Amino acid sequence: MSGRLLRNTIALALACATWSATAHAQSGDDRVDFCQGAYRIMGWHMGLLAEIARGEKPFDAAAVKHWAGHLQWAERLPAQTDTQGSRKVANSRMKPEA
């Protein structure tokens, strides 16, 4: 029984290591999509805060704090990707000097 358990444990560990390596090997397109998604999240929450700033919605301190917390979280997302490979992505609008 212990030999079979050891084999299964080793097989599971190898599968997890392979999955982890695959998950971290992002293509340039994946990195760009991830960053664009983060900026969409930030834009959405900035829009909600802007409605309050323009007086279109009543001021709600709890909601402002909640949305600002989401902004703080989302602003860290683009830094979690290595965007060096994104310069070679097809159909990229990134300027060469960036």
Where are the chain's structural domains?
27-88
Q: So what's the pLDDT on residue 1? A: 47
4 vs 17 pLDDT, higher one: 4
pLDDT tens by residue, 27-80 = 667 777 888 888 898 898 899 899 999 999 999 999 999 888 988 888 888 777
pLDDT at site 7:
66
Q: What share of the chain is helix, strand, coil (3-state, %, to 5)?
A: 75, 0, 25
- CA 62 → CA 26, 69, 72, 83, distances in Å? 37, 11, 15, 35
Provide the pLDDT for residue 57: 92
pLDDT at 74: 85
* pLDDT score at 62: 93
Section 9-24 average pLDDT: 56
d(CA 48, CA 46): 5
